Structure 1
Amino acid sequence: MKMENHTSVSQFLLLGLSDDPELQPLLFGLFLSMYLVTVLGNLLIILAISSNSHLHNPMYFFLSNLSFVDICFTSTTVPKMLVNIQEQNKDISYCGCLIQVYFLIIFSGMDNFLLSVMAFDRFVAICHPLNYMVIMNPLFCGLLVLLSWLIISWVALLHILLMKRLTFMVHTEIPHFFCELAQVIKAASSDTFISIICLYVSVVLIGVFPVAGILYSYSYIVSSLLRMSSTVRKCKAFSTCGSHLCVVCLFYGTALGVYLSSAVTGSSQGNMIASLMYTVVTPMLNPFIYSLRNKDVKGALGRLLRRAVSWI
């Protein structure tokens, strides 16, 4: 097969979830409904927080940012997958693949950073309650989010620049339903040593460090809860952490657990299942977790929906 460099390769082939034509309508309907639920649910969370002055505090500021990132995260992969299913087409342009990789790195990294920042917020609220509003002031919260965006944007840009140096065979096939960075690097026909090293460094930066921060924060939170004599205070503190803990376990449990198993078996199917869990399923479930487990969010959503019904 003739080899061409990246300037000549105009498209890649995304193999997708299944080649069975009978499954395509089912997959299209399933992922369209999941995408709509994800966008609507996270949008409702954002609207409920922005419309309720009682929720204008650091915890819900970070939650609204997480909901926005989840909408963007899912929108990076699912619409293209739906188009390919509908048109019975597996093509994605070279530029389209670069753009998809870039935004996937950004939004997955922001998910990691925001979950870590939210754990730090709960640590300050429970372990240093008297200084909470002093430490978690609006300027500091805004700087945390802005710094996260800046770091992950530069990381994503670095990977795109390295990806542009790679060469690919004509009609390169990617065994996935989107352009995942690891799969794109694996499909390259040139030396990928630098790209792989940078990929591992990025995993440590946007994966291991945030997880370590979450574990560190919750180790102190649990220690503080055990020292509390009031049962009421314990229950209230746990309720403020319960939703965040559920989201953390769901995100990292599905991403890390299934990826480790797929790495052991070397199965691309297992890799796709893992990707489905953290790019589609987790963003869809997050609004339900926060609305069902958090009384403040549930109340704000109820008032928002009643207001919308009265307008109609």
Structure 2
Amino acid sequence: MASQAFKEKPLTWSEIQQFADDVKMNGISHCIRTYKDHKMSRNEPLKWGDEIEYMIVQFDHKNRKVRLSMRGRELFNQLKLGQENSLQTPDALWSVEFASYMLESSPGEPYSGILTSCLEVEANMLNRRKETLKHLDADEMVLTLTTFPRLGCPDFIYPPIIMKDEGSHHITHSLFIPDEAIIDDVRCRINARSLLEVRGRNPAANIPIYKDKNTPSPFLEYFNDPSANQDAMPDHVYLDSTVFGGVRLCSHSLLRHQSTVDTSLILTLGGRHLWIVPMTELMKKKV
């Protein structure tokens, strides 16, 4: 998700309803126009790349705690400044992501359709990670886990934020995720609030727990919120916000096929790294 600057304040879900039909028609018209402009394209050079999302964590060795560090914007600014001051083509492009503790990177230039370009992927990923490490504090590290194990638990972010009640967080309306966990990007914050407005209430997701000999049976959670107590199920972990999904990390590939008409390859490979691994290993043996 690239960071974008808006000259005007984005509209909320309720404010945009009067323009909804126009937005839909403009989107459809643009799609048709773009297709017509490129429908006869043939033998265009194949270009592809990847995007990797990182979470920034802070280690408190004295108290044996690991928390999410909300320095995504700060690190992004440092990485972007170094990129702008470089006279060479950068190895990576950087952007902020939905959460304040996230960063996203992609190659500075697309890879080509030559099979040996698969050999560049691993080295470029390593270089991007090394560049990130240069800007971390001594007690920080970047991880590429899908989800932080303690997401939503007490004291899971740094600097610490005291969770009060659902009404004190005007964007997430969550008992577990504070507004500060969302990046200070107006688009992200408007989207999070609009999702809640569309539903009319917070979602109620219940994840089955894995029991061991120390797990109470039944496992029950109690909250200072009547609706949460009603929605929470026994032997489940209760989640109350779409933000739990928005702050998950992922890694995917981007593909521009040689022909805009033959989309089967794009649909098959786009968004997946699965195809890169066997190709990379094959080319290592050939070279």
TM-score range, shorter chain: under 0.3
The structure number with the bigger radius of gyration is 2
Structure with the higher fraction of residues in helix conformation: 1
Larger RCO, structures 1/2 (Cα 8 Å, 6+ apart): 1
Structure with the higher fraction of residues in strand conformation: 2
- Normalising by structure 1, report the TM-score: 0.26
